[in-house]
Amino acid sequence: MERSRIAVAGASGLIGGALVRSLTADGHQVVRLVRRAPRAKDEVRWDPEGERVDAAGLAGCDAVVNLAGAGVGNRRWTDAYKARIRRSRVLGTTALAEAIASLDEKPRVFVNGSAIGYYGETGDREVDEGAPPGKGFLPELCAVWEAATAPAQEAGVRTVFARTGLVVARHGGAWGRLFPLFKAGLGGRLGDGRQYWSYVSLHDEVAAIRHLVDTDGLSGPFNLTAPNPLTNREITAAMGRVLHRPTLFTVPAPVLRTVLGELSGDVLGSARVLPKRLLESGFTFAFPDIEAAIRAAR
């Protein structure tokens, strides 16, 4: 890819930060969307929940990548926090899509973050991008979140939904909480351990987003997950092997429900999601198996 000007919303997050580092290392100019007054020439002011973006700051961008949103796993899902999760994603996406559509010279691609939560509970059933949305808070959120990109699509901008799985990373996200527990010898399966976890290494997550930006003709949903989802029991065993720690502890499902509330459904639920369209588009995973992904993260 030629050196480009790329706007990133959510640049301070786990994935956004890694993406910015990758792009700048390759000489691309990154424009960061910030919620405060800009302090540098590469920053653009926006207010996602207020649906305001300094559209002029996006002028000349070849691509816009939106990874912003309140953390899904950061705290217990009260009604108020669920409303915040929804506002931060749907209103922010709407604001960016409308800003993009208003530009005389529009970016060639808009990559909007989404999640495999779109599919809901799949049990042992494998699903790919052709599957319909599931039922519940996360599937409904993802469907509305993706639909909020409509202004950009209607303006003729190639639009991609990056449906991300569980990102294997040492710091940040769900895995960032697992590493210290396993290193302390306190790791173990959650519930019965039979639920499928569709994971992706942070390296492959960033590489996949860049692939979606770079490859003309790609639009619509893409699952950003490794090709072989595993059960929580299998992943627990892999963590123990790589970190050389016992995995004797088990957190019973009733305890998780008491501690996490509605969020426990995301931990105990099973999502066996395949990256069919990503593989068909020619993407190659650097860390397709779980032990390699864990080693890359540690």
Structure confidence at residue 254 (pLDDT): 67
- pLDDT at residue number 141: 95
Task: Say how far apart CA 234 and CA 183 lie, in whole Å.
Answer: 17
**Percentage of residues in the chain having pLDDT higher than 70:** 93
Model confidence pLDDT, tens digit, residues 206-226: 999 999 999 999 999 999 999
The radius of gyration of the chain's CA atoms, rounded to the nearest angstrom, is 19
Across 49-53, 92-96, 215-219, least confident range: 49-53
Backbone angles phi, psi at 199, to 5 degrees: -110, 165
pLDDT at 285 over 60: yes
How far apart (Å, rounded) are the C-alpha atoms in residues 86 and 137? 9
In the predicted model, is pLDDT for residue 259 greater than 90? no
Give, in order, the Cα–Cα distances in Å from 98 to each of 36, 48, 50. Answer: 20, 12, 13
Query: Does residue 260 have a pLDDT over 60?
Result: no
Model confidence at 261, pLDDT cuts 50, 70, 90, reads low
User: Once rounded to an integer, what is the mean pLDDT over residues 96-102?
Assistant: 97
CA distance 190 to 253: 7
CB burial of residue 156 (10 Å; 0-12, 13-18, 19+)? exposed
pLDDT at 48 over 80: yes
* CB proximity list for 70: less than 8 A, separation 6 or greater: 81, 84, 85, 88, 89
Query: Per the structure block, which two tokens stand in for 179?
Result: 């590493």
Q: Please give the average per-residue pLDDT across 258-263, as a whole number.
A: 55
Beta bridge partners of 196: 231
Q: Which of 155, 190, 220 is nearest to 73 (CA)?
A: 190
What pairing do the DSSP bridges indicate for beta strands 220-224 and 188-190? unpaired
User: What pLDDT does 162 receive?
Assistant: 98
User: How many other CB atoms are found less than 10 A from the CB of residue 242?
Assistant: 17
In this prediction, residue 122 carries a pLDDT of 96
Check whether 76 has a pLDDT greater than 80.
no
Q: Which two tokens stand for residue 3?
A: 């050196």
| pLDDT for the residue numbered 258 | 58
- Distance from C-alpha of 175 to C-alpha of 207, rounded to nearest angstrom: 19
> Cα 10 vs. chain centroid, distance in angstroms?
11
> How far from chain centre, in Å, is Cα 279?
18
Tell me: pLDDT of 272 over 80.
yes
> Quick one: tokens of 150?
């409509």
Residue 55: predicted pLDDT: 95
| Mean predicted lDDT score pLDDT of the chain | 91
- Cβ-Cβ contacts under 8 Å for 237 (sequence gap 6 or more): 247
105 DSSP 8-state letter? S
Model pLDDT, residue 298? 79
How many other C-beta atoms can be found within 10 angstroms of the C-beta atom of residue 127?
21
What is the mean pLDDT of the segment spanning 158-182?
90
Mean pLDDT, residues 238-245 taken together: 94
More confident residue, 191 or 7: 7
* Structural domain of 58: 5-297
Report how many domains make up the chain.
Answer: 1
Residue 43, CA distances (Å) to 19, 46, 210 in order: 16, 10, 20
Q: Which helix (H) or strand (E) holds 60?
A: none
Instruction: Give me the count of residues in the chain.
Output: 298
Q: Write the CATH number for 61.
A: 3.40.50.720
Would you list the DSSP string of 192-204?
A: TS-SEE-EEEHHH
Give pTM, 2 decimals: 0.94
